[in-house]
Amino acid sequence: MTLGSKIAWDDTVLPFQLDMSDIRGRVARLDGVLDGILKQHNYPSQVEALVAEMALLTALIGQTVKLRWKLQLQVQSNGPVRMIATDYYGPTEDGEAARIRAYASFDADRLTDGPAFDQIGKGYFAIMIDQGEGMAPYQGITPLAGGSLAACAEAYFAQSEQLPTRFALSFGKSTERGVREYWRAGGVMLQHMPKASPFAKGPEATGDDGLLHARDLVDGEEGENWNRANVLLDTVEDLELVGPRIAPTDLLVRLFHEEAPRVFEAQPVRFGCSCSEDKVRQSLSIYSAKDIATMTTDEGQVTADCQFCGAHYVLDPATLGFEAKGSDGNEQ
């Protein structure tokens, strides 16, 4: 069986603006990217669903990252799924594809048959932006709450950025006749334009666990516009988000035609990992020869596996650590 045929808007993020509502947004479609992420691992179904949701959020949020910048989303919890990490690498040149990678760490014996989000305990949802050499990275965190990773991301933007934000996501395995099972995902992100200067209506937040909610940040005409756009987004169906027959531009017209949607250039995305042997060596450069010896296998090798892409590295222990020796036996 073969993989479903590639569609023009697969693995893209389309930015748009609703001119009548002062709202911006993005439509994302992932298929090959998500398949590339998940085929690296043999995750249980609940973990697959969480990684798929996190990857889709990363594509939607990461589209605003500038050239050569890196965005990371991370979940840390005390539940069966201990961590989910995703990276979004901005293109190195205009017109090039952005890259996404993701992985999860979990305790298989603690997983339950409940909903995917129930596998996450107490902890935090974090967004980090690396602006490159010489710039201090930015980090913001919010507690895990709301019943989904999308709700956590919405709470983050309300709490840390004071930006009303909404996500509508759909993801799952396609089971077309005559085609091997593969992942598809799609989503829409809405966000109130920053120039509108949203404000909290009062000291009491109405979100879960006492967090601010998007509705707490807008009032008056801004609130009416935001509520109207959300009501329209509520009408979207799962098949409209992931189905191969509706282009993102057509979806926007279906949902928001009275809001005067205006689209911009789509951003292509692909699965991509930044691991390399040089980076492995660099990470081991802080260890002494004695430390390296404890990492050496019975076969006289040091091995390392990339948790994102599964790449396997086999290294000579004599060439590792700050006491590494060159091929001539002298210290490097």
Render 75-91 in DSSP notation, one character per residue.
EEESSSEEEEEEEEEPP
pLDDT value of position 144? 93
Task: Show me where the domains of the chain are located.
Answer: 12-271, 277-319
For helices 220-233 and 248-256, angle between their N-to-C axes, nearest 10 degrees: 120
- The yes-or-no verdict on residue 285 having pLDDT over 60 is yes
Pairwise pLDDT comparison (134 vs 63), residue with the higher score: 63
Best mean pLDDT range from 100-104, 190-194, 276-280: 100-104
pTM for the full predicted model: 0.82
pLDDT band, residue 325 (cuts 50/70/90): low
pLDDT value of position 13? 94
pLDDT value of position 304? 75
Render 175-197 in DSSP notation, one character per residue.
--TTB--EEEEEEEEEEE-GGG-
Q: Report, as an integer, the average pLDDT of 16-33.
A: 91
Q: Report, as an integer, the average pLDDT of 30-59.
A: 91
Render 192-233 in DSSP notation, one character per residue.
E-GGG----SSS---SGGG---GGGS--HHHHHHHHHHHHHH
Q: Report, as an integer, the average pLDDT of 8-32.
A: 90
Pairwise pLDDT comparison (210 vs 321), residue with the higher score: 321
- The yes-or-no verdict on residue 46 having pLDDT over 60 is yes
Query: 160: left (phi > 0), else alpha (psi -120 to 50), else beta?
Result: alpha
pLDDT value of position 320? 81
Task: Decide if 229 contacts 21 (C-beta within 8 A).
Answer: yes
Share above pLDDT 90 across residues of the chain, in percent, rounded to a whole number: 46
Structure tokens at 93: 């040149």
- Give me the phi and psi of 75, to 5 degrees please: -115, 130
Report the topology of domain 12-271.
Hsp33 domain (3.55.30)
pLDDT value of position 1? 31
pLDDT value of position 204? 59
> Would you give the distance in Å from CA 323 to the centre of its chain?
38
pLDDT band, residue 4 (cuts 50/70/90): very low
- Give me the phi and psi of 293, to 5 degrees please: -60, -35
pLDDT value of position 41? 86
Task: Decide if 68 contacts 197 (C-beta within 8 A).
Answer: no
> Would you give the distance in Å from CA 153 to the centre of its chain?
10
pLDDT value of position 214? 74
Q: How far apart are CA 25 and CA 261, in angstroms?
A: 10
Sign of torsion over alpha carbons 12, 15, 21, 23: positive
Q: How far apart are CA 233 and CA 229, in angstroms?
A: 6
Q: For residue 12, which of 246, 250, 243, 267 has the smallest C-alpha distance?
A: 267
pLDDT value of position 6? 58
Q: How far apart are CA 148 and CA 136, in angstroms?
A: 30
Strand 138-143 to 123-130 pairing: antiparallel
pLDDT value of position 327? 40
The lowest-confidence range among 222-231, 232-241, 322-331 is 322-331
Share above pLDDT 70 across residues of the chain, in percent, rounded to a whole number: 86
Q: Report, as an integer, the average pLDDT of 11-38.
A: 91
Q: Report, as an integer, the average pLDDT of 86-113.
A: 91
